Amino acid sequence: MLIDNHNRKINYLRLAVTDRCNLRCNYCMPAEGIDFSKNDKLFTVDELASLSKILVSQGIDKIRITGGEPFVRKDLMVLLRELSKMERLKEISVTTNATLIGPYIDELKELGITNINVSMDAINRNTFEKITRRDQYDTVHENILRLITEGFKVRINFIALDGQNTEDILPMLELTKHYDVSVRYLEEMPFNGGSRKLEGIVWDYKRILETIGNAHPAYYKIPSDATSTSINYKIPGFKGTFGVIPSFSRTFCGSCNRLRITATGDVITCLYAQPCMNIRDILRSKEPMEKVKQQILMAVGSRSKTGFEAQQEYKGASWSSMTSIGG
C-alpha cells in the first residue's frame, strides 16, 4: 500500500502513454504545437505493462490512461488488454478527445473498460473548431453519442475559457437532460506550453455554479466519493448529472489519492509540482524491480500537502503543456 507523507492513501495512477495529440487546443499548447518526445524516450507497451504491474502490487487499483491523445498510439489496445488481465486492478479508464476512439469501442466494451472521459470544450461547432484548431466536431459528437447509447459511463470535461466558450456552458448542460451522461466544468489552468501564466481566473467554480443556478435554480448536490475532484449535482427531471472541478482553486487537495507518470517516465506527485524523478531510466536499467518500488515509495513519501505548496516550491518554473504532463 502506498501512503504519502501526509497519511493519504495513493491508489490511483494517471498513466500517460504519449505526449502527442491530433488536436491543437489553445489552452493546452501553442498553435505551432510543442516539441514532442522522440519514440525512444517514450515507454514501450511492455514497459508500461511492467510498470503497471509493479504499481498494482504496491496498492494501485485504479489506472486512468491519458495522453496527449491515447489513441494516437497504434498499440494502445495491446496495453489495455494486458491491464484487463490484472486481477487486483479494480478500474481501468481512459481520457480521450474522442476523435480516434470509434474503431475501438466494441473491444473496449468487451474488456470491461467502460469509464471514458471525453475532453470537449464546446457544443457549438464554430467554438469547438476555434478552440481545437481542427475540424473534428462531427466525429467527436458521433463517438460521444455512440459511447453513451452503448452503455459506457461517459463524463464530458469542459474547461471554462473566458471569452471563448462560456456561452456554451448551458447548451452543453442540455446533454444531461436527454442522456445519462455527466458534464463536468473545470477551471482553467496555466498548462499550455509556457505561453501564458494565470495569476487568477475569471471563471472559477463559483461563477460556473452561479451561471447554472440562474437557469436551473432547483439543482441539488449529490454524494461524491471522498477522493473525487468534482463536486457533483443533479437537475430535477434531467437524466444525467453535472459537476464542477476546482482545478485552479484546488479545494480537493486534502483527499488527493493520485500519482501521475508521464509518457517519458517523469513521476509527478502533484499537478502543480515539477517531476521528482524519472522512473523510465530505472525501469530500463538492470536494477531489480525492488529498485523501482523503492523509488516510487520515495516519491510518494515526499509529496507537497497542497497544490499551492507545490506551486510555491517551484515558483518561477515555466508551465508545461498539459499534453506533456498527462492530464
Is 175 in contact with 239 (CB distance < 8 Å)?
no
Q: What is the pLDDT along the chain (327 residues), one digit of tens a residue?
A: 899 999 999 999 999 999 999 999 998 888 777 778 899 999 999 999 999 999 999 999 999 999 999 999 999 999 999 999 999 999 999 999 999 999 999 999 999 999 999 999 999 999 999 999 999 999 999 999 999 999 999 999 999 999 999 999 999 999 999 999 999 999 998 765 544 565 678 999 999 999 999 999 999 999 999 899 999 999 999 999 999 999 888 778 889 999 999 999 999 998 888 888 899 999 998 778 899 999 999 999 999 888 788 777 655 444 565 555 665
Separation CA 167–CA 77 (nearest Å): 37
Q: Which residues of 155-189 are buried (b: 16+ CB within 10 A; e: fewer)?
A: bbbbbbbeebbbebbeebbebbeebebbbbbbbbb
| Strand 115-119, strand 153-159: pairing | parallel
| Domain extents in the chain | 2-325
CATH superfamily of 2-325: Aldolase class I (3.20.20.70)
Partners of 24 in beta bridges: none
pTM for the whole thing? 0.93
